Amino acid sequence: MLLVLTAALAIVVQDHAALRSAPRANATELSTLWQGDLVELRGERAGYLKVYNYRRERGGYLRRESVRSVGFTAAEAPELLAVLRFLRDTPGAEALGISYGAAYLKAVPAQQLSAEPFEAIGRMAERLADQASGGSARAAVAAHLEVVEQFGVHMHSFERNGRIQVCYDGELYRQLLRLRGAPAEARASAALGLTRPDCIDPALGPLARRALDDVRRELLESVDLRDVSAQTRSRVHARRAAVWATVAYEEARVGQSATASARRALDELLAVRADELGEDRRAEYIDAGVRVGVIRFAALDPAPLAGGFTLTTARGAPGQTCIMLAARTAPGAVLVRRCTYGIVWLASAQVTAQGRALVLAVQPLESWRELWVFHPGADGWTIDVLSPGSDEPEEGYVEFAGFAPATGRLLVAREVQEHGRFSRRFEELRLSDLALVKQASTPELLADFGRWQDIAWRRDTLALR
């Protein structure tokens, strides 16, 4: 809940506002106040206001121009709302906007309360959290986080891939969703704010994570897309795609069929209109595309393996799946065997031309899928693992795209997020040792892709979206 405000208050509108011991510019600076800070007005002298700041528990003098007095009557509510609307989309003014939002919620009569202030405060809280997560060099960010805390705008933080992620806890969004008659656009905005994948603590246990994803799915399903903007509609479809991809992974991980959830994820991704998202939101579509790309084999039914091989699985140690490759003519003689804690997607198994290798997709993490390459060597068959990236896993996949028998090259496609940036590339690898021969940002730039890319890959892949 937002802090209950009282009368005779003013809002600090400048950063680095010096709270001084006397109404003079050379008086001792007792504390530094920031935009959005609340002070109680106790008098005026020589161009200074005598104030008391409850957050710092300190009184002193502030220059008149550094604060704006606010009232909390119904008559003053429209003026407060006008300022809130102005600050809502102003980067760097989040703490000030949240302060005015709290003042408006105090002033507006209950019967006139709408979803607008809740959405505006939630949006500014998200933006402030993003600034803190981005390692902003602005010293004011940490101070602004302290300022908004006094209004009940809480953040939570955790470590992700070596950096601190700060997220808004979403309480104002939840209040918005409980309002009767809230516009569909506002409800969609709240649902998007409450279902951000980057605001899920990676240390969350499997049961708690699955329960959270059920809540995320229900929130997004409750959004009526008929009365929202084109951009919001595509954002919701992209978020639904990402959540359904996660649900599919969780179902497969516990041995349930993930086919329906994976197909739903694909349908939602296909409903996104990327040109409607704009540059600022395009990353959401790319993120959803990678997450659905990771899980896409769950939507396919395993087909009989072509060539002279059989591929079977068996349980290994608790939680493990063991994979065995054998010749069809001698199924009891295993050519190679390997166990994994990841999900083995048998629908991805494919023998390359002339039976020189076999490829298989294995998913060890929710948004991370590897490519296992079975191929013969000097000492018999072996399994090499291709990872989407070389750094710490964030999200990504690598998949078989074809085989060029004339050059003995394996064609693969990769999509990966590393250090917060997405990349997509197409590669030609030497089959004997999987060394990189050529790579490009599009398959058209590689000659072997033009001639030898796999037809089924081109039909089903999301790397060409």
Q: Which pTM value belongs to this model?
A: 0.90
- Domain ranges in the chain are 1-154, 183-299, 305-460
Kindly report the average pLDDT of the chain as a whole number: 92
Output the pLDDT for position 138: 64
CATH architecture type of domain 1-154: Roll (2.30)
pLDDT of residue 238: 97
Beta bridge partners of 415: 397, 424
Give tens-digit pLDDT for 318-350: 999 999 999 888 877 899 999 999 999 999 999
Going by C-alpha positions, the residue among 46, 83, 40 that lies closest to residue 64 is 46
Is there a contact between 374 and 357 (Cβ–Cβ < 8 Å)? yes
Q: 451 exposed, middle or buried (CB, 10 Å; 0-12, 13-18, 19+)?
A: exposed
Select the more confidently predicted residue: 134 or 199.
199
Long-range CB contact pairs, 428-434, < 8 A, 24+: 428/404, 429/386, 431/352, 431/356, 431/357, 431/373, 431/375, 431/403, 432/375, 432/377, 432/408, 434/373, 434/384, 434/386, 434/410
pLDDT per residue over 219-277, tens digit each?
999 999 999 999 999 999 999 999 999 999 999 999 999 999 999 999 999 999 999 99
Q: What is the mean pLDDT of residues 431-437?
A: 92
Instruction: Kindly report the three-state secondary structure assignment for every residue of the chain.
Output: CCCCCCCCEEEECCCCEEEECCCCCCCCEEEEECCCCEEEEEEEECCEEEEEECCCCEEEEEEHHHEEEECCCHHHHHHHHHHHHHHHCCCCCHHHHHHHHHHHHHHCCHHHCCCHHHHHHHHHHHHHHHHHHCCCCCCHHHHHHHHHHCCCCCEEEEEECCEEEEEECCHHHHHHHHCCCCCHHHHHHHHHHHCCHHHCCCCCCHHHHHHHHHHHHHHHHCCCHHHCCHHHHHHHHHHHHHHHHHHHHHHHHCCCCCHHHHHHHHHHHHCCCHHHHHHHHHHHHHHHHHHHHHHHHHHCCCCCCCCCEEEEEEECCCCCEEEEEEECCEEEEEEEEEEECCEEEEEEEEECHHHCCEEEEEEEECCEEEEEEEEEECCEEEEEEECCCCCCCCEEEEEEEEEECCCCEEEEEEEEEECCEEEEEEEEEECCCCEEEEEECCHHHCHHHHHHECHHHHHHCCCCC
Tally the C-alpha atoms within 13 A of residue 226's C-alpha that lie toward its C-beta: 1
pLDDT of the residue at 136: 54
Q: Which amino acid is at 351?
A: V
Per-residue pLDDT for 201 more than 60?
A: yes
Q: Residue 383 corresponds to which tokens in the numbers above?
A: 């399994």
Give the separation between CA 93 and CA 35, rounded to whole angstroms: 8
Reference 27, options 54, 53, 57, 60; nearest CA is 60
Which amino acid would we find at residue 80? L
Residue 194 reports pLDDT greater than 90: yes
pLDDT tens sequence across 275-314: 999 888 999 999 999 999 999 999 998 888 877 889 999 9
Place of tokens 């070596």: 162
In contact, 70 and 78? CB cutoff 8 Å: no
So what's the pLDDT on residue 5? 47
> Which pLDDT does position 1 carry in this prediction?
43
Residue 4: pLDDT band (50, 70, 90) is very low
93 vs 131: CA distance, rounded Å: 12
d(CA 245, CA 395): 13
Across residues 143-171, what is the average pLDDT? Answer: 92
pLDDT digits (tens, 9 = 90+) for 101-110: 999 999 999 9
Mean pLDDT of 48-53: 95
Say what the pLDDT of residue 251 is.
96
Asked if residue 18 lies in contact with residue 61, where contact means CB atoms within 8 angstroms, the answer is no
The per-residue pLDDT for range 119-134, each reduced to its tens digit, is 999 999 999 999 999 7
What pLDDT, on the 0 to 100 scale, is given for residue 3?
47
Give the mean pLDDT of 345-358: 88
- What percent of the chain stands above pLDDT 70? 97
pLDDT confidence of 393, banded at 50, 70, 90? low
Q: How far apart are CA 415 and CA 291, in angstroms?
A: 10
Give φ, ψ of 382 to 5 degrees: -140, 165
pLDDT for res 135:
61
> 10 Å Cβ neighbour count for 51?
26
% pLDDT > 90, the chain:
82
* Token couple for 239: 């978020």
Question: Which of the four pLDDT bands, split at 50, 70 and 90, describes residue 14?
Answer: very high
